[in-house]
C-alpha cells in the first residue's frame, strides 16, 4: 500500500515542503502503525523547516510535532491495543503524513466522541499551557498573569486554563485578536500600538505574578519588567527569530540548532543574578516529557477529561488537507492566526465514534 507524507529536503521557506508518495511504513517489534486523522501545525514546525529549532532533524525529514491517529497495524510484541483504537502522540517530527509507526509507549488513548482536530490541539498547545501554569509558574487563584501571543494556539490554551484556575489575565495580541482574547476572559493589550510593560504596570500597579513568553530574545527582558517582585517569566519559545514566517536574519539554508539558545541562556542567567527577585524560568515540553514521561501522559489525560466535560474548547483556526501543508505554514507564518491550524490527511472522512 502506498501513502503520502510531507518532507523537507532543504532548510528554508515554505517552498521547501514537498509531498511525496511512497510505500507505507511497516511497524517493527514494539511499534504501532497509525492512520493519521489530524496533525497540528505549529511555529516549532516552521522553525525546524528554517533549521533553527533545537530539535531540528537532519535532512530530509517530515515535520509535525503532534498527531491523533487510528491504529491500523500492530508490530510484534504489542498487547493491550487493537486496530481501530484512537491515540494521540507527540513525536516532535513526522506527523505530516498519512501513516506513521510509533512505539507503544508514545501513545496516549483518546476518549471516544472527540473531534480529532480539537483533540490534537491538546497534545502540544494545551499540555504546554497546563504544565507552564501548574508545574512551572505554580499559579494560585487570584494571581495575575500576562500572556504573549494570547490569540494563538498556546495563548488561547493559557487563557482557557487560566480562567479555570481563577487567574486575572492580560494578553498581548493584534487588534484582530482582541475579541478572541476578551471572549476567553483576558484583557487584551494591543502590542502594535502600546508598550505592554507600561500598560501592565498601569493596569496592575505593581506588575503581574507571571509572564508566559514564547517570543524570546530581548522580549524576555521586557517581560521581566512587567513582573511584580517575586514573579516569574516562563520562557518557552524563540519566535523572535522569525519574521513573516522566515528567519528574521535572512540567513536560511543551514542547520543552526543552538544559535538562539545561547542568547536565551544569557537572559535566564541574568534573571537569577540581578536584584528584584524576578526570575526567568525556561520551559520545554520535550525535555520535561523525556525526563518525566509519566507527567506528559497524566497531564494530557487530564486535559482530555476537561475536553469531554466541555470545560475547554480549543479554537481551530483552519483545517487543511495534507497536500496543502505549505499553505498552512504560510498562513501561520503571516501571524494573526486565532487558535490552532490542523492538517487533516483524509479530509472530511468521519470515523465511527470520532469526528475528523
Length of the chain: 356
Average pLDDT score, the chain: 92
Please tell me the distance from the alpha carbon of residue 222 to that of residue 196, in angstroms, as a whole number: 9
Q: Has residue 267 got a pLDDT over 70?
A: no
Q: How many beta carbons lie within 10 A of that of residue 319, not counting itself?
A: 18
DSSP state of 228: E
Instruction: Tell me the average pLDDT across 222-245.
Output: 91
Please tell me the distance from the alpha carbon of residue 355 to that of residue 345, in angstroms, as a whole number: 13
How many angstroms separate the Cα of 85 from the Cα of each of 30, 90, 331? 16, 17, 32
CATH number of 2-120+289-344: 3.90.180.10
Q: How many beta carbons lie within 10 A of that of residue 318, not counting itself?
A: 17
Tell me whether the omega of the peptide bond preceding residue 105 falls within 30 degrees of 0, making it cis: no
Nearest-10 Cα torsion for 207, 208, 214, 217: 30
Q: Give ranges for CATH 3.90.180.10 in the chain.
A: 2-120+289-344
Q: Cell 505574578, residue?
A: 209
Per residue in 119-167, pLDDT (tens digit) is 999 999 999 999 999 999 999 999 999 999 999 999 999 999 999 999 9
Per the DSSP assignment, residues forming a β-bridge with 282 are 235
Q: Which residues are CB-contacts of 189 (< 8 A; sequence separation ≥ 6)? A: 146, 170, 171, 172, 173, 196, 199, 200
Q: Give ranges for CATH 3.40.50.720 in the chain.
A: 129-284
Candidates 232, 241, 239; CA nearest to 271 is 232
CATH number of 129-284: 3.40.50.720
The grid coordinates listed for 277 are: 527577585
The grid coordinates listed for 70 are: 487510528
Q: Which 3 state secondary structure label does DSSP give 118?
A: helix
pTM for the complete prediction?
0.93
Q: Which residues are CB-contacts of 134 (< 8 A; sequence separation ≥ 6)? A: 165
Per residue in 24-44, pLDDT (tens digit) is 999 999 999 999 999 999 999
Q: Has residue 257 got a pLDDT over 70?
A: no
Amino acid at each position: 500500500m502506498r501513502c503520502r507524507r510531507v518532507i523537507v529536503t532543504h532548510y528554508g521557506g515554505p517552498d521547501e515542503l514537498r509531498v511525496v508518495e511512497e510505500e507505507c511504513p511497516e511497524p517493527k517489534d514494539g511499534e504501532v502503525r497509525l492512520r493519521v486523522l489530524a496533525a497540528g501545525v505549529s511555529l516549532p514546525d516552521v522553525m525546524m523547516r528554517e533549521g533553527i529549532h533545537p530539535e531540528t532533524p537532519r535532512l530530509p525529514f517530515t515535520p509535525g510535532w503532534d498527531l491523533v491517529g487510528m491504529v491500523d497495524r500492530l508490530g510484534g510484541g504489542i498487547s493491550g491495543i487493537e486496530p481501530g483504537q484512537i491515540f494521540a502522540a507527540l513525536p516532535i517530527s513526522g506527523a505530516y503524513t498519512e501513516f506513521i509507526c510509533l512505539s507503544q509507549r508514545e501513545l496516549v488513548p483518546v476518549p471516544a466522541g472527540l473531534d480529532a482536530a480539537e483533540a490534537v490541539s491538546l497534545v502540544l498547545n494545551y499540555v504546554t499551557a497546563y504544565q507552564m501554569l501548574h508545574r512551572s509558574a505554580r499559579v494560585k487563584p487570584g494571581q495575575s498573569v500576562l500572556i504573549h501571543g494570547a490569540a494563538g494556539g498556546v495563548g488561547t490554551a493559557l487563557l482557557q486554563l487560566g480562567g479555570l484556575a481563577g487567574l486575572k489575565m492580560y494578553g498581548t495580541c493584534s487588534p484582530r485578536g482582541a475579541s478572541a482574547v476578551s471572549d476567553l476572559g483576558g484583557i487584551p493589550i494591543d502590542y502594535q500600538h502600546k508598550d505592554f510593560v507600561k500598560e501592565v504596570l498601569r493596569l496592575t500597579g505593581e506588575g503581574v505574578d507571571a509572564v508566559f513568553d514564547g517570543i524570546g530574545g530581548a522580549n524576555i527582558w521586557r517581560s521581566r519588567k512587567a513582573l511584580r517582585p517575586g514573579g516569574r517569566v516562563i520562557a518557552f519559545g524563540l519566535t523572535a527569530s522569525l519574521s513573516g514566517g522566515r528567519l528574521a536574519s535572512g540567513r536560511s539554508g543551514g542547520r543552526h540548532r543552538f544559535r538562539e539558545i545561547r542568547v536565551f541562556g544569557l537572559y535566564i542567567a541574568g534573571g537569577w543574578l540581578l536584584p528584584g527577585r524576578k526570575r526567568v524560568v525556561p520551559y520545554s515540553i520535550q525535555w520535561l516529557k523525556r525526563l518525566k514521561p509519566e507527567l506528559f501522559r497524566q497531564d494530557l489525560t487530564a486535559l482530555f477529561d476537561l475536553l469531554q466535560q466541555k470545560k475547554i474548547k480549543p479554537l481551530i483556526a483552519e483545517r487543511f488537507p495534507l497536500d496543502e501543508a505549505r499553505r498552512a505554514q504560510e498562513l501561520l507564518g503571516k501571524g494573526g492566526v486565532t487558535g490552532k491550524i490542523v492538517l487533516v490527511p483524509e479530509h472530511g472522512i468521519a470515523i465511527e465514534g470520532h469526528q475528523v
